[in-house]
Amino acid sequence: MRSFLIGLQFLTRISIVRQDNWTEEDFGRSVRWFPLIGAVLGLCYGLVSALLFLILPFYGVSLPIHICTSCLLVLTILLTGGLFCDGFMDSMDGIFSGRSRDRMLEIMKDSRVGSNGVMAFTALLLMEWSILLDMEPGIIPMAMFVMPVISRFAVVLAITCFPYARPQGMGKAFAMHAGRNALAVAAVSTLILVVPWGVPAIIALLAGGLFALYFNRYVTRILGGTTGDTYGAVAMLTELVVLLTILLVGNFSWKSFVLQ
């Protein structure tokens, strides 16, 4: 329970029991609980989605859909403190700088955000916003629940299946002390949380998992491994893949296709 609460406090702005004394071992042991931490976030996102898109309209209160989708995206940043957003932007600045491996790692460590990071993050938000606008309102709560679960599992894949690129760093504590069974525990919990939601969620899990493996392999080839920043990048990009997959699967009618 201690490792779960530490992971929850580190990855989100939700603090049930405040933990002040963290060790590298605590960070490592929290890795197995990342999908469950994603489920806590997903529950918050899903409840707000249900309120905006299902409950309020049922009672005759329909807010503009652009406002509703914007509120959801802002909520994802507020509840996580923008932790993965920062890692995503730093990763885009470094990876697409066109410099040497060592220089890329230096750029990613710089606290300042460059043009590549800003443009990439803006494009990411626009794409997620557009996807939510086009998604059927009835499946948005499901999509917003499974999205952080699958994306946090993608981070577990990065930590447990790929080497760490730096000799030291906060992300290295996760990589060093995750433990042998962290991936198995995370995989089982992800399946339990995602599979009951049906075919769109299952396909989104497969798409997100495959993308995470490909992206981490790409990053490893360029940087010699993953970093704490690329953990954030793979989480953010996997969220986009999950939403896009659910949009395509949820809006695609096999019956109408066959009849035509």
One digit per residue, the tens of pLDDT, for the chain of length 260 reads: 778 888 888 888 887 766 666 676 777 888 999 999 999 999 999 999 999 999 999 999 989 999 999 999 999 999 999 999 999 999 999 999 888 999 999 999 888 888 899 999 999 999 999 999 999 999 999 999 999 999 999 999 999 999 998 877 667 777 777 777 889 999 999 999 999 999 999 999 999 999 999 999 999 999 999 998 999 999 999 999 999 999 999 766 433 433 44
Asked whether residue 196 is domain-assigned, the answer is: yes
Tell me how far apart the alpha carbons of residues 245 and 17 are, in angstroms, rounded to a whole number: 36
Q: What is the pLDDT of residue 22?
A: 66
The HSE-up count of residue 141 (CA atoms within 13 Å, CB side) is 13
Domain encompassing residue 70: 25-250
Q: DSSP labels for 180-199?
A: TTHHHHHHHHHHHHHGGG-H
Q: DSSP labels for 64-106?
A: -HHHHHHHHHHHHHHHHTTHHHHHHHHHHHHHTT---HHHHHH
CB-CB contact of 104 with 97 (8 Å) = yes
Asked whether residue 4 is domain-assigned, the answer is: no
Q: DSSP labels for 130-180?
A: HHHHHS-GGGHHHHHHHHHHHHHHHHHHHHHHS-BSSSS-HHHHHHHHS-T
Asked whether residue 255 is domain-assigned, the answer is: no
Q: What is the pLDDT of residue 256?
A: 42
CA nearest to 227, candidates 212, 216, 236, 243: 216
Residues near 24 by beta carbon (within 8 Å), at least 6 away in sequence:
173, 176, 177
- The per-residue pLDDT for range 40-73, each reduced to its tens digit, is 999 999 999 999 999 999 999 989 999 999 999 9
Domain count, the chain: 1
Asked whether residue 183 is domain-assigned, the answer is: yes
Amino acid type, 147: M
Asked whether residue 9 is domain-assigned, the answer is: no
Q: pTM for this one? A: 0.92
CA nearest to 132, candidates 28, 236, 251: 251
Q: What is the pLDDT of residue 252?
A: 65
Asked whether residue 2 is domain-assigned, the answer is: no
Asked whether residue 236 is domain-assigned, the answer is: yes
